[in-house]
Each structure stands twice: as C-alpha cells, then as structure tokens.
Structure 1
Amino acid sequence: MHTTARLQRANRGAHFRAYRLHGANPAQLDPFMGIDHAWMSEPTFPPHPHAGFSAVTYLFLDSETGIANRDSNGNRMLIQPGGLHWTAAGSGVVHEENPAVLGSTTHLLQIFVNLPRHLQNAAPFALTLAPQDVPVVQRPGVRVRVPLGSFDGVHSPLVPPTEVTLLDISLEAGAELALPVPAGQRAFVMPIFGSAELDGGRFGLDDLGAPILSPKTEAATHKLAGKADGAKVAVFIGEPLRQPVISNGPMAFASQEHLIAATAAYQRGEMGRL
C-alpha cells in the first residue's frame, strides 16, 4: 500500500515550467526535502544562497542543451544531458544555473536532499557525474539509469554525503520491473511522462500524483509497469534522517540557531559572491 502526494505546477514566465513535489510535512519525503521536475530555456533564477542541505541537478538525456553551473567556491561546471551535479551547501554557498545555450530547453530534476545534522555546518563542496559514467541496467522493455545509489547490483560511482538512490527508468508499454526497497528506507516515484502502475495503482503526469512508500521493518519488492504508450519515471529511495527541518526557503538546518547564524553570514557576504 502507498499514499499519493500531489504534484504542484509551478511556472515562472514563458521559459520555465515545473512540477513540484514538496511535502507539507518534512517527514513525508525525508531524507529528501523536495523535487522540482522542470523545463528551462532562459535564465530564471538569479544567484542565490543555499545552506544546511544539498542541491542536486540531474539532466535527462532529452535535454537540448546542458546547464552552466557556477558557485562562490569557484566551481564552474557544464552539466551535460544525462549528467548529475551535487552541491553540498553545508555552511553556505552561492550558486547559479542557466541553460548553456539560451533558447534551448533543458529537462531536469532539481533535487533537494537534507544533510545529516553533523554535516550541516561543514565546508561546502561539489560532486559531478558525467553522462557516460552513469551505470545503465537493461531489462526486456526497460532501461534503468543509476545516477545515484544502486540497482540490481550496479552502483553509481558517486559517493555523496547523504546516501540516497535515484533511478531514471524508461518503461515500454506493458513492460514490468521489480523495484526492491531496503528495510527502513522510504521510496517515492515521480512520473516524468506517460502513465505507469505501481503495485497495480495507476499514476501519471496528467494525474499530478506521485506514489510514496513508507519505510517498512522488512525489505519489500514493488512492481512497476508501463501502460499505454509506455512511461518514464524517476524513483527516489533513502533512509530517513529523522531530524528537525527548520527552513527559510534557501536554507534549512536542524536548529533555529544555525539557521539564524547562516542567514547572518550570507548577509555579511561570508558565503562569497559570483
């Protein structure tokens, strides 16, 4: 059995549209804090700070161009279609992301992942995974890219500060895939296009629903199936951190004291500038 969270449409002008999954209760998605499934073709967000968690960008292979990512630590990265970039904001960093070729559309996931409490004030750093280094698992009618975590004995080479799994799954019509979820871990599925079934329950982008599987005391295996013309879904799996989440939007910590301190540090310019 699973619950379904509602996706929210979030558009900014003519050049950015998104479906957002952000739990009303921080525990609903823990250790994830929210997901934006978006298309962007022009600069949309000015340089902005993050602190206390990680901001992760994953580009789908159908993106027309890459994402130019830069931050106040001096990192400059072109995230290519199919690649992933993980910014562990820690004590605080300023960053910006724009389409590499303006007017061309990027298709992406912006994933916000909480940091364990003891790492929330650590120095910020970035990790990058090139498209050709993302492992792929092929099954009849199914293709699974594994940019984070593991699936069916295949492991992503990236070792992030919060251990989570991200699977980019393409399903042909009628194709099925067994989806194992370890004991104690939460999983949820976001529709990217088309319609699919999870354990017999149908969902899709048009339904604006994302099934969420609560942590169980024992490992469980669920069944994904493609319907109609097939589907693409993104699967997120992680062990809940079970810590407070106190946020002002771009920053989130387990304590009000650290949130106030980080906000003041940013206002003093201590997180650097682009």
Structure 2
Amino acid sequence: MVAPIALSVRRIEHGDGFHAYMLRSSQGLLDPFLGVDHAWMSAPTFAPHTHAGFSAVSYLFLDSETGVHNRDSIGTDNIIRPGGVHWTTAGKGIVHEEIPSESNKTVHSLQIFVDLDARQKDVEPYPLTLEPEKVPVIRLPGSEVRIPIGSFHGVKSPLDPPTDVTLLDITLGENSYLSIPVEAGKIAFVIPVFGEVEIGGELYGGCDVKVAFLSRSMESYTVELKSNNGRAGVVVFVGEPIHAK
C-alpha cells in the first residue's frame, strides 16, 4: 500500500480577473507532470507567451460560465468549451494566448504542464482537441467519472497525447467511495475541487488547500476516495515518470 503525502500549493493572483492554486514539481516529484494550476479567470490576464519542450494542457470544468478563446502561432483559433480539453504540444516552440470567450464571465479550469521525452522536445508544435460531448463518462453507484485524458475501468479517452497520462474528473455523492487503480511504476496525485474527500485516512479539501501525492511503486496500488461530509469533487492525475525510464 502506498500512503499519500500532503503537498502544499501556492495561491497566486493577477489583478481582479485571475487567481489560482499553483502546484509545481519540486525535483521531479510529479514527473511526468511539471505542474498544475487550478484557476479561475474572468478577464484577459496573460499576454501571448512562448512554451517549448513540453505540453500545455487546458481542461475546463463543467461549471465554467463561458469558454476559452485559444489562439497560437501555428494558426490554431478555437473555443475550448466547458468540459473540453485542448492539448498543445509545444515541441520546438509555440506562442499562444488564452482568454475568456465572453466578458465578465468566469472560466474554471486546470492548466496542466506535461513533460515530453527527449525525442519529442524538438518536434514541430501541434494541437489536440477533445470536445465536451466526446469525453467519456462512467456512472457508478455514488460517483461519476469523466475521462478527458487516459483511461478508467476499461474506458479510454479518444485523445491520443504524446505523453501517456491520465486525468479523471470525479464527482462523489454524499457518503460515497471510489477506488482508483494505479499501475506499477506510476505516480498519482489528487487535487480537491469542491467539498471534502478522505484519502488514506486524511481529509483533503475545504479550507485546507493541499494535494494528496502517491509515489511510484514496484507494485500496483489503489487510491481510495471517500466522501464523508456531503458531495465532493476531485481530479486524479496518473502518469509514469519519464526520467525514471
């Protein structure tokens, strides 16, 4: 059994239109993930900026009041709708910008930074998009699992990213339980979205902002989620470290 470790996050703000809880991979702890921003944006915040050598992934939660207008230097110009995913493989370099598609409405999202292996760091940049209605959903007793990236219970997302990772957007009903299997050699971490969830006997969520991290193991293990105090929402990330291969 792998016991979770509580990781701290940092709150950041940019003016009145953006705030986020920022998680970063210290000394490669989250490999293949470089970091995650759990963010709320209601106004244009960041000027067009460059990414290179990794992937920048945007996932919009279903409770977003509007979508995101995404533009980049290779000609992509699209709206990421609530519930959808846009994966930008930056490769040798790309300039992009993301702003709310409507004024005075809030986007609730994850900005996820995923590493690329050495062979892919200099590829030509390219985008991948998955529309909300194409995201698989599994409904189990007491829980609902959206699968924007990766797989769960034998159901696989249509998105085929360059780095093999999983992202699960999970809603637990009151007094519900869900077990997430993690294959040997992979890491996992859980970010609370709303409510409180028990992981490894410890509560996450509420006013205490922290992330549950589970390190890689030579054997498979499970992440046990319990909602004891009403409904709860979490996102679960799973991936195999690139630099451990």
Task: Name the TM-score class by shorter chain.
Answer: over 0.9
Deviation (angstroms), 1:201: 1.8
Does residue 231 of structure 1 match 2:243? no
1:59/1:79 contact within 8 Å kept: yes
Partner of 2:22: 20
Does residue 2 of structure 1 match 2:31? no
Partner of 1:147: 148
1:5/1:23 contact within 8 Å kept: no
In 2, Cα distance between equivalents of 1:205 and 1:162? 32
Question: CA offsets, 1:7-29, max 9 Å, x none?
Answer: 1111111110111111332x111
Partner of 1:220: 221
2:182/2:238 contact within 8 Å kept: yes
Runs of 4+ in 1 over 6 A off after TM superposition: none
Partner of 1:34: 35
Higher helix fraction (1 or 2):
1
Structure 2 unaligned residues grouped into runs of 5+: none
The 3-state SS of whatever aligns with 1:102 is: coil
| Cα 1:77/1:193, change in 2 over 3 Å | same
Amino acid at match of 1:114: D
Structure 1 unaligned residues grouped into runs of 5+: 244-274
Deviation (angstroms), 1:227: 2.7
User: What is the aligned length?
Assistant: 242
Partner of 2:198: 197
Deviation (angstroms), 1:226: 1.3
Tell me the TM-score normalized by structure 2: 0.97
Deviation (angstroms), 1:200: 2.0
| Cα 1:46/1:205, change in 2 over 3 Å | farther
In 2, Cα distance between equivalents of 1:174 and 1:189? 18
Q: Tell me how large the CA RMSD over aligned residues is.
A: 0.9
Partner of 2:13: 11
The 3-state SS of whatever aligns with 1:118 is: coil
Moved more, 82-91 or 189-198: 189-198
The 3-state SS of whatever aligns with 1:119 is: coil
Amino acid at match of 2:132: P
Higher strand fraction (1 or 2):
2
Question: CA offsets, 1:128-168, max 9 Å, x none?
Answer: 00000000011111010000000001100010000100000
In 1, Cα distance between equivalents of 2:21 and 2:128? 25
The 3-state SS of whatever aligns with 1:10 is: strand
**Equivalent pairs: percent with the same residue?**
51
Partner of 2:80: 79
1:192/1:205 contact within 8 Å kept: no
State which structure, 1 or 2, has the greater radius of gyration over its C-alpha atoms.
1
Tell me the TM-score normalized by structure 1: 0.87
Partner of 2:91: 90
In 1, Cα distance between equivalents of 2:206 and 2:116? 29
